[in-house]
Structure 1
């Protein structure tokens, strides 16, 4: 098939493309006033995300980063899903990039001592809300988050997923 997306573990060769993709979606597409300085984790992905039960993956189309997803280990057999972004041109059923990223990440978590995944997102990401709900995430209130969950300033809607 020509339209093949490959999901693989992040390595530092992807850093510039990851930063560019995420900032473009946040700033240009959604008008969120967030900068690279507000997200220092993007400069230390391996140290920040790829420890404990955490991970960071990229979706590649012909060596170009077209999507990202990460799990931050927040202890107590829990993960925070972060940095789920897909380039606008690779969304939808033609490539299924978001589904590939999420299913790869969830499958990865199922092979670790993980019980739950939590996430926070902005109110602007309406399509993302539908996507998470369609994929088994349950909407929860902020006060239902674990104490160790890192709430970002832009996060206003929260979800939980139970690993079976």
Structure 2
């Protein structure tokens, strides 16, 4: 684990850092054709995540934001995971940052009585698929996702995890 790593809730005052982490990973590293304008949640994390009853967390090494994860509470004892990204230099099982971020979110889910966790991603993020499946997420077809699941136009791979209460 990197020195001084902390997982902490992020709010609108961290928007520039959040965008500075996520957009280059999406656009440059993985060539996902998505813009800031197509992701209004990055402009107002408080409205899209915290006010839904969800949350938005960041992994910081010293003062540098190196990872993020967001949860949108959707009702129905369910949530959608969004914006799970870790800076390339901080990825991997050895550092475990993605697992720490996800564990933080799942602890919050259990505290809030959320038992159904959904997420969507894009097909090019193969390492992310392996990570989710190793944790216990099961792949779903788009048609199997509940109607209340908030969809992102660029996403084409779907997952579900049932949490025991």
Paired residue secondary structure (2:75): coil
Partner of 2:6: 6
Partner of 1:87: 87
For structure 1, the residue ranges without an aligned partner over 5 or more in a row are: none
Taking the aligned partners of 1:3 and 1:11, their CA distance within structure 2 comes to 23
Once the two structures are superposed, the pairs formed by residues 9-88 of structure 1 within 5 Å of their partners are: 9-88=9-88
Taking the aligned partners of 1:112 and 1:72, their CA distance within structure 2 comes to 12
Q: Deviations over 1:136-157 (max 9, x none)?
A: 1111111111101111111111
Taking the aligned partners of 1:150 and 1:30, their CA distance within structure 2 comes to 22
**Are the equivalent residues in 2 in contact too, given 1:56–1:70 (CA < 8 A)?**
yes
Give TM-score scaled by structure 2 length: 0.95
**Are the equivalent residues in 2 in contact too, given 1:14–1:65 (CA < 8 A)?**
no
Change (3 A) 1:154 1:4: same
Greater CA deviation, 5-14 or 15-24?
5-14
**Are the equivalent residues in 2 in contact too, given 1:52–1:73 (CA < 8 A)?**
yes
Taking the aligned partners of 2:90 and 2:2, their CA distance within structure 1 comes to 13
Change (3 A) 1:52 1:39: closer
Once the two structures are superposed, the pairs formed by residues 92-107 of structure 1 within 5 Å of their partners are: 92-107=92-107
Change (3 A) 1:103 1:110: same
Partner of 2:112: 112
> What's the offset of the Cα at 1:93?
3.1
CA RMSD of aligned residues (A): 1.3
Partner of 2:139: 139
Greater CA deviation, 63-72 or 4-13?
4-13
Pairs aligned (count): 164
